[in-house]
Amino acid sequence: CNLTLVGNDFDRGAFAIVIPKKWAYAQDLDVGILSLKESGKIENLRQKWFQSQYCSDSTTTITTTAIEIKATSGLFVTFAITTFISLLLFLWSKRYNIKNYLSQFISKKESSTTKEYIQRNSNQNSERT
């Protein structure tokens, strides 16, 4: 009486249990399930656990409501904080690589600027002579 069944009933036609390939007891398992099905024990279990039952002591009705964003906001905040901290830790662990890349990028820019300056000066000097 403390359980509530949600959704449709399971398919009564077939059962599937995952077992290793060429398992020594596969045929015994098949025979066991078939004998339980033929004797009606599986149907009895299905009726016991999945058939609607009305409890005499249950006078209250249970109503369900949809989950609102307020109920899950803590989850989103936790996810955002965890993501931010993970990103910071990743950048901190890669700081030397980032620093080297930026210094190489800046030095290439400076060297190209220096080359342009030297080239302009040499062109101006050659035009003067």
**How many domains is the chain built from?**
2
Task: Show the domain range for 103.
Answer: 69-128
Q: In this structure, what token pair is assigned to residue 97?
A: 């690589």
Best CA proximity match to 37, nearest among 15, 9, 17: 15
Do residues 79 and 46 both lie within one domain? no
Do residues 54 and 76 both lie within one domain? no
Do residues 14 and 46 both lie within one domain? yes
Do residues 79 and 51 both lie within one domain? no
Do residues 33 and 92 both lie within one domain? no
pTM value is 0.35
Among 16, 40, 64, residue at a domain's last position: 64
What local confidence, expressed as pLDDT, does residue 24 receive?
Answer: 93
Do residues 14 and 52 both lie within one domain? yes
CB 22 within 8 A of CB 40: no
Do residues 52 and 73 both lie within one domain? no
**How confident is the model over 36-82, as pLDDT tens digits?**
989 999 888 888 877 766 666 655 666 777 778 888 899 999 999 99
**How confident is the model over 6-35, as pLDDT tens digits?**
666 666 666 678 899 999 999 999 899 889
Angle, CA of 103, 109 and 110, to the nearest 5°: 85
* Placement of tokens 């078939």 in the chain: 34
Do residues 76 and 123 both lie within one domain? yes
